[in-house]
């Protein structure tokens, strides 16, 4: 899952900028997420973990 998110996670990260359970629940600062996305050419460690958690939460919703 980690290698997939690192390679193909930027579109998911773009989706999170508009609709995210972690943002809605207050666990992720939306402004920090925008700044992180603006500087990401690939998905770094911290964003990979955040994406994995978001994907997991979405699968439960």
Predicted pLDDT at 59: 93
Residue 35 CB-density burial (10 A; 0-12 exposed, 13-18 middle, 19+ buried):
exposed
Residues 26, 24: Cα–Cα separation, whole Å? 5
pLDDT at 61 over 80: no
pLDDT in tens, 7-52: 888 898 888 889 999 999 999 999 998 998 888 888 888 889 999 9
Q: Looking at per-residue confidence, does 18 or 1 come out higher?
A: 18
- Answer for the pair 21, 61: CB distance below 8 angstroms, yes or no: yes
Predicted pLDDT at 41: 83
Residues 29, 26: Cα–Cα separation, whole Å? 7
Predicted pLDDT at 29: 95
pTM over 0.85: no
Residue corresponding to tokens 């990401």: 40
CB atoms < 10 A from the CB of 49, how many? 13
């Amino acid at each position: 899952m980690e290698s997939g998110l690192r390679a193909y996670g930027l579109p998911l990260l773009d989706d999170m900028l508009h609709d995210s359970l972690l943002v809605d629940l207050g666990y992720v600062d939306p402004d920090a997420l925008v700044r992180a996305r603006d500087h990401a050419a690939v998905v770094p460690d911290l964003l990979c973990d955040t994406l994995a958690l978001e994907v997991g939460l979405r699968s439960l919703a």
